[in-house]
Structure 1
Amino acid sequence: MSDRVSFILNIEDFAANKELFELLQSYHSDYLDAFFVLFQYLGKGYVVVFILIFLWFYKREYFRQFLVSSIVCAIIVISLKYIISAPRPASMLNNVRLLIPLYRYSFPSGDVAVASLILLFFFKKVRYVLRLCLAVYWLLISYGRIYLGVHFPLDIIGGLFVSYISIIIANWWNNNRLKNINVKS
């Protein structure tokens, strides 16, 4: 349990979370190991930077909202990680197949927050085929975090929830606070 927030129980330490983690992490193959070790890089924060650059040049009307959403999301993820200080699966369970070394806090998943932000922000802005691609991207990042042994299912849900809240906050901020700031088209 964290010294910082002693009144919060270890949010990862309940049977369903651990059992689902063990079930989802039970099957491994050399191909999937290699795939998820590489694919996990598409959930990192620098993907947001590339998207922001793209939006600046090609879809500037989305730039400000995505920027604010990204900043809010990063602040919430980092804050929750340090406030809650949830341990990673390998520090709580035996026989975790840890494919990438991560030792800091687990809840919420920052990679899933990035993937969720991208999915939720762009889902209604793109055509059906791209929606399907976004959903598959999110599923692969989310499952990959468990497969790699670095997150519990609850961390995945937390990352999704943080992104959803971030977009709501950014929408409010953009609609109420940034009306007078124009980004030249």
Structure 2
Amino acid sequence: MIEEILQFDTELFVYLNSLGSTNFDFFWLSLSRPEANIILYLLVLMLYISIEPNKKSFVINLLLSIIILVTISDQFSNISKDFFQRLRPCFNESLIDSIRLVKDSCGGKYGFFSAHASNSFSLAIFFGLLLFKKNKLLIFLFALYAFFISYSRIYLGVHYPIDILIGVFVGIVNGTFIYGAYLNTLNFFNK
């Protein structure tokens, strides 16, 4: 059963990766850079802080929550990669002639699960929930943005679809959990 799932995952990866075009490589490479998340969410963070009451405990709690969010997401991905040791497609010798590797380098040897997917969805869900009362549409826009970042990893040839799906799941759970912890901490300081 697991072998069939992994075979399907490989076939789906080869198909999706083959849809790429050199005309769009720059776009997908740009989305895959860490700055793609950092710049967007720094702007959102600055906007949010500017429209909320500037209590010191509020800003500190928000910044600590974001640091914890990204740290958990990133480190859990690293632990998972070391534990499962699933080769990235670009390190899989049997696939080298079947894929488009857009990046100059492949990254680390192992790819399960995608830290890009986990980090981008953690941030999307956290900020989407944070701003939900102000604009309910933002959570969907942030999730769409995170989806494009996640898909870029398949396009570039460095992650299988299952790597992405598990990263998305972990990111959604992490973003929701840290947002809940953020609210509890905020309520504690506002007593």
TM-score, normalization by structure 2: 0.72
Partner of 2:169: 161
- Label 1:140 to 1:169 Cα distance change in 2 as closer, same or farther (>3 A): closer
- Label 1:107 to 1:44 Cα distance change in 2 as closer, same or farther (>3 A): farther
Gaps of 5+ in 2: 53-58
Q: 1:17 aligns with which of 9, 31, 43?
A: 9
Partner of 2:55: none
* C-alpha contact (below 8 Å) 1:25/1:149 kept by paired residues: yes
Q: 1:123 aligns with which of 125, 128, 131?
A: 128
Partner of 1:102: 106
- Label 1:97 to 1:12 Cα distance change in 2 as closer, same or farther (>3 A): farther
Partner of 2:119: 114
Partner of 1:74: 74
Q: Matches of 2:69 and 2:168 in 1, distance apart?
A: 13
Q: Deviation at 1:76?
A: 0.9
Residue deviations 1:117-164 (CA, integer Å, cap 9, x gap): 122112232424433431321221121110000000011012112223
- Label 1:158 to 1:112 Cα distance change in 2 as closer, same or farther (>3 A): same
Q: Matches of 2:106 and 2:150 in 1, distance apart?
A: 16
Q: Matches of 2:17 and 2:115 in 1, distance apart?
A: 19
Moved more, 57-66 or 13-22: 57-66
Gaps of 5+ in 1: 1-9
Q: Deviation at 1:12?
A: 10
- Label 1:138 to 1:46 Cα distance change in 2 as closer, same or farther (>3 A): closer
Structure 1 residue identity aligned to 2:21: S
Partner of 1:4: none
Q: Deviation at 1:63?
A: 3.4
Count residues in correspondence: 173
Partner of 1:87: 87
SS in 2 for 1:151: coil
* C-alpha contact (below 8 Å) 1:48/1:114 kept by paired residues: no
Structure 2 residue identity aligned to 1:87: L
Q: Deviation at 1:28?
A: 2.1
Q: Deviation at 1:171?
A: 5.1
Partner of 2:18: 26
Structure 2 residue identity aligned to 1:121: F
Partner of 1:133: 141
* C-alpha contact (below 8 Å) 1:55/1:63 kept by paired residues: no
Moved more, 74-83 or 142-151: 74-83
Q: Matches of 1:56 and 1:128 in 2, distance apart?
A: 15
Q: Deviation at 1:86?
A: 1.5
- Label 1:136 to 1:173 Cα distance change in 2 as closer, same or farther (>3 A): closer
Q: CA RMSD in A?
A: 3.4
SS in 2 for 1:118: helix
Q: 2:32 aligns with which of 23, 36, 40?
A: 40
SS in 1 for 2:153: helix
